Amino acid sequence: MSVELDTARLAAPSRSRLGARLWRSMPWHDPMALTGIAVYMVLVLTAIFANQLATHDPTEILFSADYNLAADLPPSLEFPLGTTSLGRDVWSQLVFGSRAALIVGVTAAFMVVVIGTVVGLLAGFFGGIADSILMRITDIAFGIPFLPFVIVLSAFLEPSVWNVVLAMGLILWRDTARVIRSQVLTLRSRTFIEAARVVGVSEWRILFVHLAPNILPIAILYGSVAIGWAILTEASVSFLGFGDASTISWGYMLQDAYASQALSRGSFHWFVPPGLAIVAVVAAGFFIGRGYEEVLFPKLKAR
């Protein structure tokens, strides 16, 4: 009896051990991963303290001291990144755009991780008919082009940043599901899983208590990449004119600058900052993913 209890104790990781495992799985040693984490921290802090960092209302039409429209002004102390053709402060729009980026990125990444993880766990662990059905659904998701799907979805629904979140939740879980399924196929025959079965642990408890913690690092990896994809997709949809015009986002800023022919007028202070912000956040996700590669696949360190 004591042997069975010890075996069950070894098979069931405690919360403290799970937290320690997640902490150790973070790529703290990798400079690129640390850079990506730092970019995400800046994004979070900017979104939280947007009201304090912004110098003006991002939608307010500003006027100069002589009551002329403050349009296309170059960067200055009063307007750190200049103004738009309608006299709106570019810096304030950039700061408040981080909130839309954070909401879309985190929400979409959460949906991608949850759906992809659950599908991968169920398909890999149970196999058989469940695996066949779930993988055929995954194949269908792979066959749907993502950006056209978002555009069609926006055409049928009211334009909103939540269209991007919904589209990612419906489509982009496919990569996560495939990878996690393959990982579960290798884990389900391990000794600790067999030990859990011997002591009478139910299949669902084995699935979500014993298997799930072992694939969390992979899920976190795909979640970090999904944040960048979500922000890039929102920017693309907004730039094409299918975004929510009432929401200030980096994609909206680029679309507004394009419609106002900012490039031909040399207003680089208008469209370069949001473009760089999008590039930085998307690159941050891939930097974190690059750092996770050596954690998940130690053999890469030798190369």
The residue that leads in pLDDT, 239 or 91, is 91
What is the mean pLDDT of the segment spanning 26-33?
Answer: 68
pLDDT given for residue 144 in this prediction: 87
Residue 1 banded pLDDT, cuts 50, 70, 90:
very low
pLDDT given for residue 12 in this prediction: 46
How far apart (Å, rounded) are the C-alpha atoms in residues 45 and 99? Answer: 10
**Of the ranges 16-20, 70-74, 254-258, which one carries the lowest mean pLDDT score?**
16-20
How far apart (Å, rounded) are the C-alpha atoms in residues 222 and 209? Answer: 20
C-beta of residue 257 within 8 angstroms of C-beta of residue 84: yes
Q: Which domains does the chain have, with CATH numbers?
A: 29-297 (1.10.3720.10)
pLDDT per position as a tens digit, 117-128: 999 999 888 888
**Per-residue tokens: 1:** 């009896």
pLDDT per position as a tens digit, 172-195: 888 889 989 988 888 887 887 878
pLDDT given for residue 9 in this prediction: 45
Query: Does residue 8 have a pLDDT over 60?
Result: no
Task: Classify residue 75 by its DSSP letter.
Answer: P
Q: Element (H or E) spanning 85, and its range?
A: none
C-beta of residue 231 within 8 angstroms of C-beta of residue 43: no
pLDDT per position as a tens digit, 50-92: 999 998 888 888 887 777 888 888 888 888 898 898 889 999 9
Residue 42 banded pLDDT, cuts 50, 70, 90:
very high
Q: Which residue has the tokens 């299949």?
A: 203
3-class DSSP state of 116: helix
Q: Which residues contact 123 (CB under 8 A, 6 or more apart)?
A: 130, 131, 134, 135, 138, 177, 181, 184
Residue 27 banded pLDDT, cuts 50, 70, 90:
low
Query: Does residue 204 have a pLDDT over 70?
Result: yes
pLDDT per position as a tens digit, 101-151: 888 888 888 888 899 999 999 988 888 898 899 999 999 988 888 888 888
How far apart (Å, rounded) are the C-alpha atoms in residues 82 and 73? Answer: 5
pLDDT per position as a tens digit, 257-301: 988 888 888 888 888 999 999 999 888 888 887 766 665 555 445
> Which pTM does this prediction carry?
0.77
pLDDT given for residue 95 in this prediction: 94
In SS3 terms, 142-186 reads as HHCCHHHHHHHHHHHCCCCCHHHHHHHHHHCHHHHHHHHHHHHHH
**Per-residue tokens: 245:** 């015009």
